[in-house]
Amino acid sequence: MTAPNDGRDDAAAQPVAETGGMPAVETDVWQPLPVAARTLSTITALVGTLLPLSVALVPALIAFGRSPASLAAHAAALVLLPAWTVWIARRRWLRTRWRLDDDGLGIRRGHLWRSDVRVPGTRVQHLDIRRGPLERAFGLSTLTVHTAGTRNSAVALSGLEHAQAERLRDALAARAARDDDHDDG
3-state secondary structure of 160: strand
Q: From 3.30.70.1520, 3.10.20.90, 3.40.250.10, 2.30.29.30, which CATH number describes the 27-32+98-184 domain?
A: 2.30.29.30
CA distance 58 to 43: 22
pLDDT tens-digit profile, the chain (185 residues): 434 444 444 444 444 444 444 445 666 789 999 999 999 999 999 999 999 988 888 887 777 777 888 888 888 988 999 999 999 999 999 999 999 988 889 999 988 889 999 988 888 899 999 999 999 999 999 999 998 876 768 999 999 999 999 999 999 998 877 766 665 55
CA distance 177 to 99: 19
